[in-house]
Amino acid sequence: MKIKLTLIFLMSNLLSFSQINFENKITLIDDTHNTYDINAIAIADLDNDNWKDLIITSYDDKIIWYKNVNGDFRHFQRNIISINQIDIPKYITAADLNNDGLQDLIVVNDSSVDNIFWFQNLGNGDFSSEILISDSINGASSIETIDIDNDGDIDILTGGATQAVILIENNNGDSFQAPQIILWEFFY
């Protein structure tokens, strides 16, 4: 009797935890909209319409914004933020660096010198040309933004080739301090 109850219990659990079916896949961006070899993406509401937009970078030196209209990226023209201004933009994130209520873009490139750039969101779908934040980080990797010193502006954190965590402190949205190593790890 115990064996029958155990088998019934196991069968009922197997049937109740069966595989979940998902809807058919939907391609948000196809080859007609795509750029060459996407290497980074970010999600942010760039136009303050309460819909998260898609931003991509590519190995052919482009930064492109796809506007999200009611959950749909497919039927709207892409906005080119940058073409050939930055050599291989490899990391991207969004944050309001100058406290104007608009999400700006912060980009790290992958060339002989790793630079960190800021594209200021000017509103109405317009962005500034690249603004150099730092050109002195060896092997910049990934990028994060946070108000690390609680002074009301967004600071930048990145990694470096020397296993360091580097802080670039924001000076009220109009300039940045020189990069400072805040954590340095030696591996033996």
pLDDT tens, residue by residue, 54-85: 999 888 888 889 888 888 877 677 788 888 77
Q: What is the pLDDT of residue 2?
A: 61
Q: State the DSSP code for 76.
A: S
- Calculate mean pLDDT across residues 128-132: 93
Q: What is the pLDDT of residue 37?
A: 80
The span from the CA of 151 to the CA of 137, in Å, is 24
The span from the CA of 33 to the CA of 76, in Å, is 9
- Calculate mean pLDDT across residues 120-131: 92
Weakest-pLDDT range from 3-12, 131-140, 150-159 = 3-12
The answer for residues whose C-beta is within 8 angstroms of residue 78's C-beta and 6 or more apart is 33, 64, 65, 66
Q: What is the pLDDT of residue 32?
A: 54
User: Does position 93 have pLDDT exceeding 90, yes or no?
Assistant: yes
CA angle 147, 149, 154 (to 5 degrees): 25
Strand ranges inside the chain, DSSP E: 38-44, 53-58, 62-66, 79-83, 89-95, 104-109, 116-119, 121-123, 126-127, 131-134, 141-146, 155-159, 164-168, 180-184
pTM listed for this prediction: 0.79
pLDDT tens, residue by residue, 108-125: 887 767 789 999 999 988
Q: How far is CA 124 from CA 79, 103, 166, 177, in A?
A: 11, 12, 33, 29
Q: How confident is the model at residue 20 (pLDDT cuts 50, 70, 90)?
A: low
Write out the two tokens for 69.
């209209």
- Calculate mean pLDDT across residues 16-32: 60
